[in-house]
Amino acid sequence: MNLIEIRGLEVSACHGVHDYEKIEAQRFVFDADIETDFYRAAESDDLRRTVNYSALCNLIAGIAKHNTFNLIEKLAYECAFAILENAPVKRVKLSVYKPDAPIKHKFGTVGVTVETSRERAYLSLGSSVGDRKKYLDSAIEKLGKTRGIKVTKVSAYLKTQPYGGVAKNEFLNCAAEIETYLSPRQLLEEINRIEAECGRVRSVRWDDRTLDIDIIFFGRKVIYEDDLTIPHPDYFRRDFVLAPLREIAPEFYCPVQNKKIKHL
């Protein structure tokens, strides 16, 4: 792992919940660990083959100076996201400290730390109500316009029979590969928003629906939570999920089934 480290970057800016904090500049101090591959830069001694830490400092300082946020949590995420959006990096861990925070106690500093990374995820999309192709097209478009998501591959659309014994209509399904720096939970929230915007109503499980988007894989993460399981349970028994995945990700290795998609 190659890390670019920034320590003690001090910026005067206006952030805070109090009115005067939005007018009077205060000190903010940034630390950042930025994971990227600079082997070729070390080999060639060429600045163009690495991430310029001076440019990163300018980027952080620019966001801090040209915006006004209530919370340093917001400031930290904006800086971390901007680095991922503007530089070829894998992971960012960024801390923001406010040494002159308006606290009526003696303290050294207060701050927050955020960590986010670029991951490849695979989604399964389906529709069985109305103009099914239009709903899938709209979902792909909305995903691509969501901050933190880049759609990199989309499979052909596939007509399939309903699954689960409740839905009656024929489905149109596809799979999408995305690159994202959102967390799995943040991605799920954006997916729920897109489903709602496309008229999704959650009433009876497995019933016909305008749009259904499932997270099948999120990198090689394995997650078991009340409303979020990754890899998606039973995906390997559903050909309407597997067939599109085989088209766009045949070599992807499932961390639970321990097989490549093309072998499932």
**Domain end marker among 98, 117, 136:** 117
Q: Which of 102, 117, 132 is the last residue of a domain?
A: 117
Are residues 96 and 30 in contact, defined by beta-carbon separation less than 8 angstroms?
A: yes
Query: Which of 117, 136, 151 is the last residue in one of the domains?
Result: 117
Amino acid making up residue 63 = I
Kind of pairing, strands 171-180 and 149-154? antiparallel
- CATH number for 25: 3.30.1130.10
Is the pLDDT at 174 greater than 90? The verdict is: yes
144 in the same domain as 97:
no
What sign results for the dihedral spanned by CA atoms 36, 39, 40, 42? positive
Which pLDDT band holds residue 248 (cuts at 50, 70, 90)?
very high
CA angle 61, 146, 65 (to 5 degrees): 15
Question: Does residue 130 sit in the same domain as residue 236?
Answer: yes
| 123 and 253 part of one domain | yes
Looking at the structure, tell me whether residues 176 and 99 fall in a common domain. no
Radius of gyration (C-alpha) of the chain in whole angstroms: 22
DSSP 129: S
Tell whether 85 and 154 lie within a shared domain: no
pTM of the complete model: 0.87
Phi, psi (rounded to 5 degrees) for 136: -65, -45
Is the backbone of residue 234 left (phi > 0), alpha (psi -120 to 50) or beta? Answer: left
Confidence of residue 170 (pLDDT cuts 50, 70, 90): confident
Q: Domain limits at 180?
A: 119-263
Q: Are residues 90 and 180 in the same domain?
A: no
Domain count, the chain: 2
Tell me which residue of 112, 87, 118 sits closest to 182, measured CA to CA.
Answer: 118
Q: pLDDT band for position 206 (50/70/90)? A: low
Residues 150 and 140: their CA atoms lie apart, in Å, by: 10
Same domain as 215, residue 98: no
pLDDT > 70 in the chain, percent: 96
CATH code of the domain containing 165:
3.30.70.560
Catalytic residues: 98
Same domain, 47 and 84: yes
Is 52 in the same domain as 68?
yes
- For residue 161, the model assigns a pLDDT of 84
Question: Based on the domain organization, do 257 and 131 belong to the same domain?
Answer: yes
Q: How does pLDDT run across 59-113, given as a tens digit for each residue?
A: 999 999 999 999 999 999 999 999 999 999 999 999 999 999 999 999 999 999 9
Same domain, 231 and 104: no
Q: What is the pLDDT of residues 128-168, one digit of tens each?
A: 888 999 999 999 999 999 999 999 999 999 998 877 656 67
| Residue 190 shares a structural domain with residue 252 | yes
